Amino acid sequence: MHVRKVAVETHFNGSSAIHVTHHSWLCEWSIRLECLDPVIIFNEESLRRTLRLYFRYYHGSRLHLSLEKDSPDPRSIQSVGKVIAIPEVGGLHHRYERRAA
């Protein structure tokens, strides 16, 4: 069986080498723990699709403590309505929103 490594590149602007190393380790840990460990990857296309969905979730829905529990792509605060779960990354994670009754 031939296994080919697929690189995931991350670019940082204006960071020191120590900060980049720490941040890179944190990103790799997050991707592995939250995305790759709980799923079975069949081939390169399966890996790319899973990572694409995870990055969309990571930047659009996942809460980040460093951003005061907001996502990199901020969304408005919803205070009225019924809370519903929207599955993301094939149901591995969920985004919660309020919808008017």
Q: How many CA atoms does the CB half-sphere of 9 hold within 13 Å?
A: 1
Domain ranges of the chain: 17-74
| 1-14 tens-digit pLDDT | 444 444 444 444 44
pLDDT in tens, 29-72: 778 888 888 888 889 998 999 999 988 888 888 877 778 777 88
Query: Lowest-pLDDT range, 9-13, 23-27, 80-84?
Result: 9-13
Q: Check residue 22 and give its pLDDT.
A: 52
Q: Where are the alpha helices (DSSP H) in 12-81?
A: 17-31, 44-60
**62-71 burial: b if 16+ Cβ within 10 Å, else e:** beeeeeeeeb
Q: Which residues, including other chains, have CB under 8 Å from residue 99's CB and lie 6 or more apart?
A: 81, 82, 84
Q: Model pTM greater than 0.95?
A: no
